[in-house]
Structure 1
Amino acid sequence: MMGFLKIAVLGRNARAAGLCGRSKAARRPAVVRTISTTSPKGTVMPAWVIDKYGKNEVLRLNQNMMLPVINYPNEVIIKVHAAGVNPIDVNMRSGYGATALNMKRDPLHMKMRGEEFPLTLGRDVSGVVMECGLDVKYFKPGDEVWAAVPPWKQGTFSEFVVVSGNEVSHKPGSLTHTQAASLPYVALTAWSAINRIGGLNDKNCKGKRVLILGASGGVGTFAIQVVKAWGAHVTAVCSQDASDLVRKLGADDVIDYKSGEVEGQLKTSKPFDFILDNVGGSTEKWAPGFLKKWSGATYVTLVTPFLLNMDRLGIADGMLQTGVTVGSKALKHFWQGVHYRWAFFMASGPCLDQIAELVDSGKIQPVIEQTFPFSKVPEAFLKVEGGHARGKTVINVV
């Protein structure tokens, strides 16, 4: 089962694969260069790192982390102004996905150190381009950009980060860096589930009934807004204290999961065309039953055992177990008249271009629950680890 790794590669090469087209604004070429502009060697920066996996005490502020350099001609160095905190950061701190992610990590770094440490966490970034490789055509130093860094790369809880040019997009002009840093990872995760895997877009979504389980978190709040922008009817499942938030974002119906079994509350609803599951667990057993049968309706879950299988069983057995699991579930639901799919985060600058257009047109707004200064990264992790998110947690680095 190569699904995750295939999607990861597609994310890294999204422009070449044609998954999302560059917007007109992003197509304007940068200044042509005849030499590469790499960071001066021997300089250091502050970064929050871990030297082993564990609980929050493993987070350490390293004031002497080597400043990243451009190793490939398609890379850019970004000065980080703000960085989002996601549940995956907390999970990676504890070792989640290490077996699979180490397969993808920079072989030079792994060869020199024999391990992934010191590892900088953080996936979201909004900042300013400092330097560009020779092949970078869409950006130039001084451009304000945003990006979501793949989990096998060094992260964004640092003063500078290096990313591939096709993972970067021009920041929406209507947002501050703090606001922009709240969106890339959750937006691309939702975009992968809704658009790339679920097949919904602005041409075919109008009038469709969409159910979002776990609607008040980062992925859920973005998902509500994007399918509403495309004309869908949205039913959001969250707790009562988040109902005002999700209604403000566009949810037509809200179900409080604390007031009784969601399954029972949904029995009076019309069948759905699409279900996005951010919760997993028992929801997977009953949620697909609320889809329209034999109409192309799709259930997409973001809660999958792929990385856990590889952590627990190793590479080969983990991939085999994952393939058997997803294959058997997809076949079972196919015979019941619905589609069953898994979705993963997919890094893609071109897709962020499309999302930026939605943001600047006023159809998507960032939802930030709390911000922290760079010195308080451990406190931000504890906030996210506590769950019950009402939007995103953001670190102001500058």
Structure 2
Amino acid sequence: MKAVRRTGNGPLETTLVINDQEPMPKHTYSLPPGHVLVKVAYTSLNPFQYKVAETPVIGTWAFKGIPCLDFAGTVARSTDSEFQEGSKVFGQTQPMNFGACAQYLVVAAQLCNRVPDNVRLEDAATFGIAGFTAYQMIVPFIGNGGGRKKILIIGGSGGLGTYATQIAKALGYCVTATCLGGNTDLGKEIGTDEVINYRAKDVGALKQSSKQYDLIVDPVCSDPRLYWESYQYLDPRGLYVTVVGGLDLKFVKAPIQSIRTAHSIRHTYTLPLT
């Protein structure tokens, strides 16, 4: 089969090659129970993957062989009653296993979902990491949007942010999202109730607002001020959720700032891919 393979260290654009003599995946002809062989139609590369790949030492160990986690395609063989040959599926491989950038992939059935009839395969292939991470940044911490709970999404026009916005709206939240100026129309298109152009208004717009958010979802983690100042617009019972690996040492100031100003910030992390 054909597959893309990483040949060395460094940026992916210089280390990826197409191998048209790649062996079929292990267990192709003897699938374990609860697994499927997927004929991959589309895959997508998430920022998490290329950032890991380009990290010294860690990238060499963790990102080798066939890249990509997210995929969409057709079941070619199955040992799980949920999926039959010909079923259209999407999903992701096990964390750090990668392997989706190939013509065929063996994956546990529990990591697959059926593609709805009104969704294209190429769109379904982008959901895996971003979609599931967005879901777990919202639902476990606050549940449904009963009572019109308010949620703030940082980077609402990004890959994860667009999914977070749509999930939050489907659950009944009142959603405010920060977006880059050129993406404000996209934010409105996907249902955002209020869009803040962070280049024009920045964190000041949040501090000046009378809103108290029940949940702040920050998959970007690029502006520590949003965290430092969040006690001014986060409900005392609310939660500030970030992605593991997103925070850097600049955010260590946050608890110090909170103590100094006699305020506290309830904060938790979520891990992508789980």
Q: What's the TM-score bracket when you normalise by the shorter of the two chains?
A: 0.7 to 0.9
Task: Identify the residue that residue 233 of structure 2 maps to in structure 1.
Answer: 290
- State how far apart, in whole Å, the 2-side matches of 1:101 and 1:146 are: 27
The structure in which a higher percent of residues are helix is 1
Q: For 1:131, which of 77, 84, 90 is the aligned residue?
A: 77
Per the TM alignment, residue 180 of structure 1 is displaced from its structure 2 partner at its CA by 1.2
- State how far apart, in whole Å, the 2-side matches of 1:153 and 1:129 are: 19
Aligned-residue sequence identity (percent) comes to: 26
Q: Given the superposition, is the C-alpha separation of residues 101 and 72 from structure 1 closer, same or farther in structure 2, using an over 3 Å criterion? A: farther
* Contact 2:221-2:246 within 8 A present in 1 as well: no
Task: Identify the residue that residue 92 of structure 1 maps to in structure 2.
Answer: 52
- SS of the residue corresponding to residue 18 of structure 2 reads strand
Per the TM alignment, residue 289 of structure 1 is displaced from its structure 2 partner at its CA by 3.9
- SS of the residue corresponding to residue 271 of structure 2 reads coil
Aligned residue pairs, count: 260
* Contact 1:279-1:303 within 8 A present in 2 as well: no
- State how far apart, in whole Å, the 1-side matches of 2:36 and 2:66 are: 18
- SS of the residue corresponding to residue 259 of structure 1 reads coil
Per the TM alignment, residue 159 of structure 1 is displaced from its structure 2 partner at its CA by 0.6
* Counterpart AA for 1:286: E
* Counterpart AA for 1:229: A
Per the TM alignment, residue 147 of structure 1 is displaced from its structure 2 partner at its CA by 0.5
Q: Given the superposition, is the C-alpha separation of residues 101 and 53 from structure 1 closer, same or farther in structure 2, using an over 3 Å criterion? A: closer
Aligned ranges 1:313-392 → 2 under 5 Å: 336=263, 338-347=265-274
TM-score by length of 2: 0.85
Q: Given the superposition, is the C-alpha separation of residues 100 and 153 from structure 1 closer, same or farther in structure 2, using an over 3 Å criterion? A: same
Per the TM alignment, residue 84 of structure 1 is displaced from its structure 2 partner at its CA by 1.9
Aligned ranges 1:71-110 → 2 under 5 Å: 72-95=32-55, 98=58, 102=62
Deviations 1:350-389 (A, max 9, x none): xxxxxxxxxxxxxxxxxxxxxxxxxxxxxxxxxxxxxxxx
Task: Identify the residue that residue 268 of structure 1 maps to in structure 2.
Answer: 208
* Counterpart AA for 1:124: D
Deviations 1:292-343 (A, max 9, x none): 11xx31110125369x99xxxxxxxxxxxxxxx8xx89x97xx845421101
- State how far apart, in whole Å, the 2-side matches of 1:213 and 1:184 are: 20
Aligned ranges 1:54-203 → 2 under 5 Å: 54-55=10-11, 56-70=13-27, 72-95=32-55, 98=58, 102=62, 117=64, 119-133=65-79, 136-196=80-140, 198-201=141-144
* Contact 1:143-1:170 within 8 A present in 2 as well: yes
Q: Given the superposition, is the C-alpha separation of residues 100 and 223 from structure 1 closer, same or farther in structure 2, using an over 3 Å criterion? A: farther
* Contact 2:217-2:242 within 8 A present in 1 as well: yes
- State how far apart, in whole Å, the 2-side matches of 1:267 and 1:128 are: 49
Per the TM alignment, residue 273 of structure 1 is displaced from its structure 2 partner at its CA by 0.6
The two structures, once aligned, show a CA RMSD in angstroms of 2.7
Task: Identify the residue that residue 252 of structure 1 maps to in structure 2.
Answer: 193
- SS of the residue corresponding to residue 226 of structure 1 reads helix
TM-score by length of 1: 0.60
Q: Given the superposition, is the C-alpha separation of residues 249 and 97 from structure 1 closer, same or farther in structure 2, using an over 3 Å criterion? A: farther
Per the TM alignment, residue 127 of structure 1 is displaced from its structure 2 partner at its CA by 0.5
Q: Given the superposition, is the C-alpha separation of residues 169 and 62 from structure 1 closer, same or farther in structure 2, using an over 3 Å criterion? A: same
- State how far apart, in whole Å, the 1-side matches of 2:26 and 2:134 are: 31
* Contact 2:38-2:105 within 8 A present in 1 as well: yes
* Contact 1:302-1:344 within 8 A present in 2 as well: yes
Q: Given the superposition, is the C-alpha separation of residues 154 and 226 from structure 1 closer, same or farther in structure 2, using an over 3 Å criterion? A: closer
Deviations 1:266-288 (A, max 9, x none): 12221111000022141332335
- State how far apart, in whole Å, the 1-side matches of 2:246 and 2:198 are: 24
Per the TM alignment, residue 60 of structure 1 is displaced from its structure 2 partner at its CA by 1.2
Q: Which has the higher contact order (CA 8 A, sep 6+)?
A: 1
* Contact 1:121-1:154 within 8 A present in 2 as well: yes
Task: Identify the residue that residue 51 of structure 1 maps to in structure 2.
Answer: 7
Per the TM alignment, residue 96 of structure 1 is displaced from its structure 2 partner at its CA by 7.0
* Contact 2:37-2:107 within 8 A present in 1 as well: yes
Deviations 1:209-267 (A, max 9, x none): 1101011111100111111111111111011110001111111111111114x221112
- State how far apart, in whole Å, the 2-side matches of 1:343 and 1:52 are: 30
Per the TM alignment, residue 101 of structure 1 is displaced from its structure 2 partner at its CA by 7.5
- SS of the residue corresponding to residue 292 of structure 1 reads strand
- State how far apart, in whole Å, the 1-side matches of 2:127 and 2:100 are: 14
- State how far apart, in whole Å, the 2-side matches of 1:95 and 1:162 are: 27
Gaps (5+ residues) in structure 2?
A: none
Task: Identify the residue that residue 149 of structure 2 maps to in structure 1.
Answer: 208
